[in-house]
Amino acid sequence: MSIDLDHIRQVFDEADCLFTREQVDSAIEHMAADISETLAEKNPLVFAVMNGGLVFAGKLLTHLHFPLESSYMHATRYRNTTRGGELDWKVPPAQDLKDRHVLIVDDILDEGHTLSAIVEHCKAAGAAEVLTAVLVDKKHDRKAHPGQKCDFTGLICEDRYIFGSGMDYQGYWRNAPGIYALKGH
Is 28:59 a contact under the CB 8 Å cutoff? yes
Question: From the first residue on, what is the mean pLDDT of each consecutive set of 10 residues in the chain (185 residues)?
Answer: 89 97 98 98 97 95 97 76 63 93 96 90 96 96 89 97 96 96 86
CATH number at residue 81: 3.40.50.2020
Distances (CA, A) of 169 to 48, 106, 147: 19, 16, 27
Which among 170, 109, 117 is positioned nearest to 142, based on CA atoms?
A: 109
Residues 6+ apart with CB under 8 A from 113: 77, 84, 87, 144
121-140 residue pLDDT tens: 899 999 999 999 999 999 99
Distance, C-alpha 155 to centroid of its chain: 11
pLDDT of the residue at 119: 94
CA distance 146 to 118: 18
Task: Report angle CA 104, 109, 111 to the nearest 5 degrees.
Answer: 125
In the prediction, which pLDDT does 7 show?
95
β-partners of residue 17 are 180
pLDDT at 75: 84
pLDDT for 16:
97
Q: Where are the alpha helices (DSSP H) in the chain?
A: 5-14, 21-39, 53-61, 113-124
Beta partners for residue 117, in sequence order: none
Count: domains in the chain: 1
Residue range of the domain that includes 18: 5-181
- In this prediction the pTM is 0.91
The reported pLDDT for the residue numbered 1 is 63
What does DSSP say about strands 45-50 and 69-76: parallel, antiparallel, or unpaired?
parallel
- CA distances to 18, 95, 146, 164, 170 from 11, in Å: 14, 39, 32, 12, 11
**Residues forming a β-bridge with 46:** 70, 103
Please state, rounded to an integer, the average pLDDT across all residues of the chain: 92
What pLDDT does residue 78 have?
A: 57
pLDDT of residue 146: 85
Q: What pLDDT, on the 0 to 100 scale, is given for residue 143?
A: 87
Strand partners, 109: 137
Above pLDDT 70, what percent of the chain? 93
